[in-house]
Structure 1
Amino acid sequence: MTATREMTYVYYFYQEPKSFSGGELVIYETKVEGNNLSKHNDFKVIEPRNNSIIFFPSRYLHEVLPVSCPTKAFENSRFTFNGWIRREDGSIIDN
């Protein structure tokens, strides 16, 4: 099913004031050669901002940096919803 993913989205939310650090999204410029993906040296680091959403092409390689929450309290951490916009039968649908 991953072959039908066109766009990836990540929605960030957390309790304010922010009680954690880290959790940045790193999106790499990605070259597609047939079925192979390779990341280049170019990348963008996106800070998780409360009540924000990020969209990026699903073929882009990416990672999330570690989150540090000194209080170790669940409610003080960083939260996300993520999903994909998929291609199906030649059309774009939300999933």
Structure 2
Amino acid sequence: MTSLEYNASKISVELKQLTFREHQLEDRKKILCVFRELRKRADFEHTEEAAATEDEIEGINKDLKQISEKKAELQKTYEEILVSKDQKKIDDKESQAGFDEDDS
């Protein structure tokens, strides 16, 4: 496995982990929003629990934003690695073709 392949594999794993974490946070946020709505309907929206829920939702939103930014960075790097890998293959084929022509 080349260095490029190793890096691509490592980034791919990290992207999968970030996506999994993102889904966990989104699910947690949905649950908290349901709790918020229930409190609102029961006129308990101004309690300490409600405030804690709002704080947690805000924290989740920040985490989701950070994950999104990190995923975008990793995706860009991953694509750059793939382009480099493809270019290396093209260069190798061209140099091999050059050797074949010289042998004739």
| TM-score normalised to structure 2 length | 0.21
Structure having the larger proportion of residues in strand: 1
Structure having the larger proportion of residues in helix: 2
